[in-house]
């Protein structure tokens, strides 16, 4: 009798363990993990200790359409592509520009936003246009966020000696304020946010480069990519994305 009880207990325990493991797996399957760098307003930034912004809200809607819950992981910008490639994160979404070198490692969804690289200078700066940066004999120092497109373009166009990389756009802006660099090259919407938040800065009227933002997905995860593209189309067609963008980027006028 004792033996029967012991066997029954054993079976029960095995069942319980399997259930926990099984349930855990299922829960994981329902989580959409987003690797991002929460320092890029208005796409992702903290408000009241919570990540918010255009990317975060679009990702929430995408997850909803996929019947999943969104989990936002705040990591270094230059760790996002590798993290998506290795499967640590399901998607990478960080105002991330589609670039040939990134496409070697991950796939990108259809574009959901446009970005423009712009130049921030002090209001009284001698730099008045992008051309001044490349003028013969120019030695202006340029601050960027490490591993961004602004970083890559600036190094290509003006030489790596003149470019200093910072962990976050806000750090590059701080370096501009204290005179460590003469300008900052960064995406236009974060640039506007930084100029609003810091006195004495302005954005040059001539833009530096136009780009497309998209969502990074692991190459082998074609099923997820298809689902995301379908959901993105639905969210575009029904005006959801435009609404989210308008909430964070009020029309200028
Ligand atoms: N759009 C730029 C890039 O992809 C910057 C993105 C960011 O800093 N979050 O490199």
| Same-domain pairing of 108 and 169 | no
Q: Is residue 148 part of a domain?
A: yes
What per-residue confidence (pLDDT) applies to 18?
45
Q: Can you tell me which atom of ligand 1 is nearest the CA of 43?
A: 9
What per-residue confidence (pLDDT) applies to 251?
76
* Range(s) of the domain holding residue 106: 27-112+214-248
Ligand 1 pocket (Cβ < 6 Å) reads 37, 40, 77, 94-97, 115, 145, 148-149, 187
Q: Can you tell me which atom of ligand 1 is nearest the CA of 99?
A: 4
Q: Is residue 168 part of a domain?
A: yes
Q: What is the pLDDT of residues 68-98, one digit of tens each?
A: 999 999 999 999 999 999 999 999 999 999 9
| Same-domain pairing of 131 and 191 | yes
C-alpha 241 – ligand 1 centre gap (Å)? 19
Q: Can you tell me which atom of ligand 1 is nearest the CA of 213?
A: 1
What per-residue confidence (pLDDT) applies to 28?
62
CB 60 within 8 A of CB 70: yes
Q: Is residue 66 part of a domain?
A: yes
How many angstroms separate the CA atoms of 225 and 216, rounded? Answer: 9
Q: What is the pLDDT of residues 51-68, one digit of tens each?
A: 999 999 999 999 999 999
Q: What is the CATH number of the domain that holds 157?
A: 3.40.190.10
SS3 6: helix
Q: Can you tell me which atom of ligand 1 is nearest the CA of 147?
A: 10
Q: Is residue 21 part of a domain?
A: no
Q: Can you tell me which atom of ligand 1 is nearest the CA of 186?
A: 5
Higher pLDDT, 17 or 242: 242
| Same-domain pairing of 162 and 202 | yes
Q: Is residue 10 part of a domain?
A: no
Domain count of the chain? 2
C-alpha 111 – ligand 1 centre gap (Å)? 14
| Same-domain pairing of 108 and 120 | no
Q: Can you tell me which atom of ligand 1 is nearest the CA of 36?
A: 9
Q: Is residue 135 part of a domain?
A: yes
Mean pLDDT of 213-230: 98
CB 210 within 8 A of CB 175: no
Q: What is the pLDDT of residues 94-143, one digit of tens each?
A: 999 999 999 999 999 999 999 999 999 999 999 999 999 999 999 999 99
- Burial of 202 by CB count in 10 Å (0-12 exposed, 13-18 middle, 19+ buried)? middle
CB 178 within 8 A of CB 141: no
What per-residue confidence (pLDDT) applies to 207?
85
What per-residue confidence (pLDDT) applies to 23?
44
| Same-domain pairing of 199 and 224 | no
C-alpha 96 – ligand 1 centre gap (Å)? 5
Residue nearest atom 8 of ligand 1, based on CA coordinates = 148
| Res. 173: pLDDT tops 80 | yes
- pLDDT range class, residue 1, cuts 50, 70, 90: low
Residue nearest atom 5 of ligand 1, based on CA coordinates = 148
Mean pLDDT of 165-184: 97
| Same-domain pairing of 191 and 119 | yes
| Same-domain pairing of 33 and 46 | yes
C-alpha 190 – ligand 1 centre gap (Å)? 10
C-alpha 37 – ligand 1 centre gap (Å)? 9
The span from the first CA to the last CA of the chain, in angstroms, equals 84
Helix spans in 30-122 (H): 54-65, 80-85, 100-103
Q: Is residue 167 part of a domain?
A: yes
| Res. 144: pLDDT tops 80 | yes
Q: Is residue 147 part of a domain?
A: yes
| Same-domain pairing of 121 and 71 | no
| Same-domain pairing of 194 and 234 | no
- pLDDT range class, residue 29, cuts 50, 70, 90: confident
C-alpha 53 – ligand 1 centre gap (Å)? 15
Least confident of 25-29, 167-171, 242-246: 25-29
C-alpha 147 – ligand 1 centre gap (Å)? 8
């Amino acid at each position: 009798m004792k033996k029967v009880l012991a066997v029954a207990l054993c079976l029960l325990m095995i069942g319980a363990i399997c259930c926990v493991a099984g349930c855990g797996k299922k829960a994981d399957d329902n989580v959409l993990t987003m690797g991002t760098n929460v320092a890029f307003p208005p796409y992702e930034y903290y408000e009241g200790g919570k990540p918010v912004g255009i990317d975060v809200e679009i990702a929430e809607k995408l997850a909803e359409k996929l019947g999943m819950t969104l989990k936002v992981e705040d990591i270094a910008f230059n760790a996002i592509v590798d993290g998506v490639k290795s499967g640590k994160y399901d998607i990478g979404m960080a105002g991330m520009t589609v670039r040939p070198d990134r496409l070697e490692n991950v796939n990108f969804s259809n574009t959901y936003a446009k970005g423009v690289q712009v130049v921030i200078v002090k209001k009284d700066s001698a730099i008045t246009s992008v051309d001044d940066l490349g003028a013969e004999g120019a030695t202006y120092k340029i601050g960027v966020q490490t591993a961004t497109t602004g970083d890559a373009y600036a190094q290509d166009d003006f030489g790596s000696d003149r470019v200093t990389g910072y962990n976050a756009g806000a750090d590059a802006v701080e370096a501009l304020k204290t005179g460590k660099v003469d300008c900052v090259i960064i995406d236009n919407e974060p640039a506007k946010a930084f100029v609003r938040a810091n006195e004495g800065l302005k954005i040059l009227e001539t833009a530096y480069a136009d780009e497309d933002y998209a969502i990074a997905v692991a190459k082998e995860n074609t099923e997820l990519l298809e689902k995301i593209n379908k959901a993105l189309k639905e969210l575009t067609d029904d005006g959801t994305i435009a609404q989210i963008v308008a909430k964070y980027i009020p029309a200028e006028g």
